[in-house]
Amino acid sequence: MDCVVERDDNARPLYPVRPTDLATLLDRLPLRQAGFLGDLGFTGKSGEVQFLPGPNGVAGAVCGLGDNRSPFAFGHLARLLPEGTVWRLEPGDYDAGSATLGFCLGAYRYTTLKPADRAPAKLVLLPEHALAVSQADAICMARDLINTPANLLGPVELGDAAIALGRRFGAETTLIEGNLLDRDYPTVAAVGAGSPRPSRVAIFHWRGSAAHDAAPLVSLCGKGVCFDTGGLDIKPSSGMLHMKKDMGGAANVLALAQLIMRADLPLRLAVRIGCVENSVSGTAMRPRDVIRTRSGLTVEVGNTDAEGRLVLCDLLCDAAAEQPSVLIDCATLTGAARVALGPELPALFCNNDAWAERVLRAGGKCYDPVWRMPLWSGYNAWIDSPIADINNISAKPFAGAIVAALFLQRFVPAETPWMHLDLYAWNEHAQAGRPEGGEAQAVRALFTAISEYLTAAG
């Protein structure tokens, strides 16, 4: 993270303040600076920043918070404060970790192919900021993966990134490809059959230093479609513009895994990433093809653009066989979820009320919200097939996100606590702390929920 420093004795003071506390702050400041703020009409509203004059230029700054208590109240500062300057947070009515997280998220730019227009300002890092910096680092890793163009990040490169992450933390890693992929993950192989770039499943298993053999097993599965043309049911060109982000579920899973491993949580972790490209060619899967899945269920391909659920179903079947304490999948799965909830609110489907409430509560607490949607069993008949056990789509134009979740549920035993996150993984336009482009969603909510589950379990 190039926006934090361990120490700087010459760091300038940054005063976050709410309107109700402004008078108290003005009393603390030197008379000249207080008068300067008064003349400028500073009120302390959210997003408002004023610089404090000193004998040699800018001596400090005041940042208005309004009633905004999210990290994003600080998301504009790294790019607004003078380039390369170093700042220290002064006490106030805010959470220092949240402030650090927002500052770091706002500093992010994707610079692999083009340098940023300017360097960010820097924040002095305190010991209590460590978790916030870890979260920001994981989120920025996910953003980098999603923002990387598809010609540079294909299934091989995504698989390599997953394996490299696991190895960095001492995990046991496995990369499935070729004939083994055809045999053990036939739906993943079928989705990638139309691409000249080989498909892979990347797997790693990790154990915290304090985790015993009976420690909770958290299993994560991610949809890693590195580009989605729609296959033979091809998308219009406008529908492909953001399809490099169709591996956003995998990126979010890897960000969550990094957080868990860096925090050395006392659990066992299993991660599975299905890395494919859904392309158009003479070898691509066809509408009305039937695929026999890892579970033995047969699937009729009603639409080749509903490929994400095919990537996930074999991963879920494999993961469920290990009897995890909780099984979580993340995917940029349906446009229907975006129609229902918009781009900023991931849809949560869950077969376990305790886990659903835990994640909803955690998301609200850490300003990383999700919204629970129903696994409405009344729609199960919509994905019946006359020639296979199940169809990958419904013939009806309704409830697309629910239907996709019901399809995935067929591959998870009822006794396994399971959560499915249907997310967008993209910021349509820049906001404070959220630059336009790839985004990690629900990662902090899930990490917080898992941490609280471990605490409650003792």
Per-residue pLDDT, 458: 72
Per-residue pLDDT, 8: 87
CATH class of 135-457: alpha beta
Amino acid sitting at position 134: S
C-alpha dihedral over 171, 320, 253, 344, to 10 degrees?
Answer: -170
Would residue 118 show up in a list of annotated catalytic residues for this protein? no
Helix 353-365 vs helix 443-457: angle between axes, to the nearest 10 degrees? 120
Rounded to whole angstroms, the Cα distance separating 423 from 344 reads 8
Q: Where along the chain do its domains lie?
A: 4-125, 135-457
Q: Which of 186, 98, 101 is closest to 138 using CA atoms?
A: 101
Quick: pLDDT tens for 320-354: 999 999 999 999 999 999 999 999 999 999 999 99
Residue 122: how many other CB atoms lie within 10 Å: 22
Per-residue pLDDT, 266: 98
**Do residues 346 and 356 touch, judged by C-beta distance below 8 A?**
no
Two structure tokens written together for 458: 């003792």
Quick: pLDDT tens for 211-245: 999 999 999 999 999 999 999 999 999 999 999 99
**Do residues 51 and 126 touch, judged by C-beta distance below 8 A?**
no
Would residue 235 show up in a list of annotated catalytic residues for this protein? yes
Per-residue pLDDT, 457: 83
The β-bridge relationship of strands 347-350 and 371-372 is parallel
Per-residue pLDDT, 193: 98
The β-bridge relationship of strands 172-176 and 200-207 is antiparallel
Phi then psi for 70, rounded to 5 degrees?
-85, 165
Per-residue pLDDT, 307: 98
Arch. (CATH architecture) of 4-125: 3-Layer(aba) Sandwich (3.40)
Amino acid sitting at position 264: D
Of 109, 309, 338, 434, which is the active-site residue?
309
CA atoms within 13 A on the CB side of 44: 17
Rounded to whole angstroms, the Cα distance separating 225 from 433 reads 26
> Strands, E, within 279-417: which ranges?
290-292, 298-300, 326-331, 347-350, 371-372, 390-391
Query: What stretch of H or E contains 36?
Result: helix 31-40
* Each residue's pLDDT expressed in tens, for the chain with a length of 458 residues: 889 999 888 999 999 999 999 999 999 999 999 999 999 999 999 999 999 999 888 999 999 999 999 999 999 999 999 999 999 999 999 999 999 999 999 999 999 999 999 999 999 998 888 999 999 999 999 999 999 999 999 999 999 999 999 999 999 999 999 999 999 999 999 999 999 999 999 999 999 999 999 999 999 999 999 999 999 999 999 999 999 999 999 999 999 999 999 999 999 999 999 999 999 999 999 999 999 999 999 999 999 999 999 999 999 999 999 999 999 999 999 999 999 999 999 999 999 999 999 999 999 999 999 999 999 999 999 999 999 999 999 999 999 999 999 999 999 999 999 999 999 999 999 999 999 999 999 999 999 999 999 999 87
